[in-house]
Amino acid sequence: MATVSFFHVGSTTSIAPGVTLHWWWNNAPTQRVFAFSVDTIMSLTIPPQPGSAATIEITRVEYWDKYNSPSFEKEVHFWIKNTGTIAASFNVHMAQISD
């Protein structure tokens, strides 16, 4: 029977427009389905201009099998980019389905 797990991966307090951040998970398990989601948070300490948008996008997710002699290491990598018009904070979440 399949099992679904949900994890809060991390938070960032501010990322400028156009900036991409990269994270990875070392020793990731095999035979899983991974899905990432992001919650965007617009800062109201300095009120944004009307029409401003806090938009964060997960641009890429990759599963790596790296050879680190004498063994292999499995890694899940993901990239997050601020595609909005103002700096924004965000929370990243990951779900995995395993058999």
Q: What is the pLDDT of residues 35-48, one digit of tens each?
A: 999 999 887 666 77
pTM of structure = 0.81
Q: Is 95 left (phi over 0), alpha (psi -120 to 50) or beta?
A: beta
Please state the domain extents for the chain: 3-98
Peptide bond into 47 cis (omega under 30): no
CA distances for 47 relative to 30, 44, 81, 87, 94, angstroms: 45, 5, 22, 12, 30
pLDDT for 56: 94
pLDDT for 18: 95
Residues in the chain, pLDDT under 50: none
pLDDT for 45: 66
pLDDT for 1: 85
If we measure between CA atoms, which residue out of 65, 63, 64, 59 comes closest to residue 92? 59
